Amino acid sequence: MTSYTAPTRDMQFAMDALGLLPALAALPDYVDATPDLRDAMLEEAGKLAGDLLAPINFSGDQQGAVLENGVVRTADGFKEAYAAYVEGGWNSLAFDPEFGGQGLPWLLGFATAEMWVSANNSWGLCPMLTSGAVELLSAHGTPEQKALYLEKLISGEWNGTMNLTEPQAGSDVGALRCRAEKEGDHYRIRGQKIFITWGEHDMTDNIVHMVLARTPGAPEGTRGISLFIVPKFLVNSDGSLGDRNDVRCVSLEEKLGIHACPTCTMSFGDDDGAIGYLVGEENRGLNCMFTMMNNARLGIGLTGLSIAERAYQQARDFAKERVQGSAENPVTIINHPDVRRMLLTMKSTVEAMRGLIYDVVSSLDVARAHPEAEARREARIRADLLTPVVKAWCTDMGVEVASIGVQVHGGMGYMEETGAVQHWRDSRIAPIYEGTNGIQAIDLVIRKVLRDQGDAVATYAAEIRAVLTALDSESDEISASLHTHLGAALAVLETATQWLVTDAADAPDQALSGATPYLRLFGLTAGGAIMARGALAAGKALTDGGDDVEFLTSKRRTAHFYAENILSQATALLAPVRNSHDPIIAFPEDQF
């Protein structure tokens, strides 16, 4: 397996070319988010990722996490790497200074998180969940709960988990059976949760579980769900650790990938009942949990990018070294046109994903920190619209890019020793995590498009039209190609959106039959807009005498490839969006 080098130059370009960091630094809360600070942070984070996390990625996959007498032992080096991460203050970047955070934008937090997951996906999932727990408690916790938990969660000394899924429920959260009975100032929690990522381990002194459960007499379905803090160790009023709570990991799942990440079956209340503390109001737990889930959905979208970046680096390096050809003319395989096509598919998709994720995360920063209420509202709507696109499109692309990485390696890619197949195995869970990608497509169509009659999409489309106008003012071949294919993709996206609003609004089966191709259409188009913006910025920098000519030229060439080879596929998705219903619904069940 090749080493990992953080793509700091690409990260800087995405932030600057899209105008993200300059816009955030202009806000009063983010005046410290200067390019110099950003560059220093990325350099140091890259060292931690490359020197500590990447070397234990393959070994961690081979060793895995182990459950011994109720204790989960993590793979060699994981605990030490986590201690270095906490000591460096990396967990606290984007959080409230009142509780020990550094108050920096999510944009910078996500950029460093990209490095952690690229270097070591199994390890990187642990702090990702903690970030969601912090967001949840910051939004919905009582002052006492914030005082008791936030400082240690923000520092990373403790970590957080999300406990939703139960054996009989799967994605149907409303079918959960975990019970919560009030007892004084707390509740007794009894039940079982499955698929709990980092539900038990030895890297932190305490684990703060966020648990969905149902109180006696609660309404059926999602309307009767409450949310509880259930710590592994109870916390005394002075913040010190008390008795062990009645919560245990009873088994670890055997999985396709992320072997070093303990995926736990958690049992609550086998003895006296696990002590839990209500967050928010009874029967409003799912509303609170969505704060954590939306944070996690963006984080999981980031894993699609991160794994794709790692797979691309490995495939690129292999292609530059692997010699194949006739005895008279042996060449490295990067000289073969089809290998170059695969590598450019990987590279351009990675750059489109990175730009899209950073763009959406920056909208969250604006929604959190802009001094004007209307600007905050508009930014929130934009982030809400694009969150399912980030989660689903980026994780789908992560799987595809990792699979291409295996293909570039040929037969050696299928061998575990190269590490290429680990990236594909690790990537495959992401389209299932935090609401399957089919659920993300449903969310996009029903809650984000039909609910406001397509208004948010129209606003986003206006942004893309401004990009098209800028492209139209250029006279070069690359700008013309981007204008042609982005314009065609946008026209199809608008046509598909209008069809959903007018023809499918009262026919949910029709809308949902084409929801997944609609989301892919959206992702391809949004990625195209990102690549076009980057190409325009690179072109301007070249005209202005930018000194990194090779790098800037490569950005334009990569955007050109994306336009001709990837964005051009968008127009074919109109038919499955509009015409999927009849062949899907009319197909008899007994003929499957």
Residues 552 and 458 in one domain: yes
Q: Categorise residue 89: left if φ over 0, alpha if ψ from -120 to 50, beta otherwise.
A: left
The CA distance from 399 to 424, in Å, is 6
pLDDT of res. 173: 77
- The β-bridge partners of 183 are 186
Residue 292 lies in a domain: no
pLDDT tens-digit series, residues 96-109: 999 999 999 999 99
What's the whole-number mean pLDDT along residues 343-354? 98
pLDDT at 222 over 90: no
Residues 151 and 15 in one domain: yes
Quickly tell me which residue has 């793979």 as its tokens: 75
What's the whole-number mean pLDDT along residues 290-316? 94
Residue 398 lies in a domain: no
Q: Which helix (H) or strand (E) holds 206?
A: strand 206-213
pLDDT tens-digit series, residues 137-174: 999 999 999 999 999 999 999 999 999 999 887 777 77
What's the whole-number mean pLDDT along residues 89-95? 97
Tokens of 48: 């931690």
Residues 28 and 163 in one domain: no
Quickly tell me which residue has 């070994």 as its tokens: 59
Residue 276 lies in a domain: yes
Quickly tell me which residue has 């590279």 as its tokens: 347
- Comparing 163-172, 462-471, 498-507, the range with the smallest average pLDDT is 163-172
Residue 189 lies in a domain: yes
Q: For the domain that residue 143 is a member of, what is the CATH number?
A: 1.10.540.10
The CA distance from 517 to 171, in Å, is 21
The CA distance from 416 to 405, in Å, is 13
Q: What is the DSSP letter of 514?
A: T
Residues 503 and 536 in one domain: yes
Residues 131 and 170 in one domain: no
Chain centroid offset of residue 537 CA: 26
pLDDT tens-digit series, residues 40-54: 999 999 999 999 999
Mean of the per-residue pLDDT values for the chain?
A: 96
Residue 396 lies in a domain: no
3-state secondary structure 515-541: HHHHHHHHHHHHHHHHHHHHHHHHHHH
Residues 139 and 182 in one domain: no
Q: What domain range is 536 assigned to?
A: 440-584
Residues 75 and 94 in one domain: yes
Say whether 351 is catalytic. Answer: no
Q: For the domain that residue 177 is a member of, what is the CATH number?
A: 2.40.110.20
pLDDT at 374 over 70: yes
Nearest to 354 by CA among 13, 1, 54, 3: 13
The CA distance from 102 to 89, in Å, is 9
3-state secondary structure of 198: coil
Residue 541 lies in a domain: yes
Residue 29 lies in a domain: yes
Tokens of 568: 């051009």
Domain end (from 101, 122, 155): 155
pLDDT at 285 over 90: yes
Residues 178 and 84 in one domain: no
pLDDT tens-digit series, residues 231-271: 999 999 999 999 999 999 999 999 999 999 999 999 999 99
Residue of 87, 144, 434, 589 marked catalytic = 434
pLDDT confidence bin for 289, thresholds 50/70/90: confident
How deeply is 164 buried, as exposed, middle or buried, from its count of CB atoms within 10 A (0-12, 13-18, 19+)? buried
The share of the chain scoring above pLDDT 70, in percent, equals: 100
Residues 453 and 564 in one domain: yes
Residues 23 and 105 in one domain: yes
Calculate the alpha carbon distances from 468 to 65, 458, 471, 532, 565 in Å. Answer: 50, 15, 5, 8, 19
**pTM passes above 0.85:** yes
pLDDT of res. 256: 98
Residues 128 and 266 in one domain: no
Domain end (from 100, 132, 155): 155
- The β-bridge partners of 161 are 209
pLDDT tens-digit series, residues 525-540: 999 999 999 999 999 9
Q: How many domains does the chain have?
A: 3
- Comparing 278-282, 397-401, 507-511, the range with the smallest average pLDDT is 507-511
Domain end (from 155, 170, 187): 155
pLDDT of res. 1: 62
Residues 38 and 86 in one domain: yes
Chain centroid offset of residue 67 CA: 28
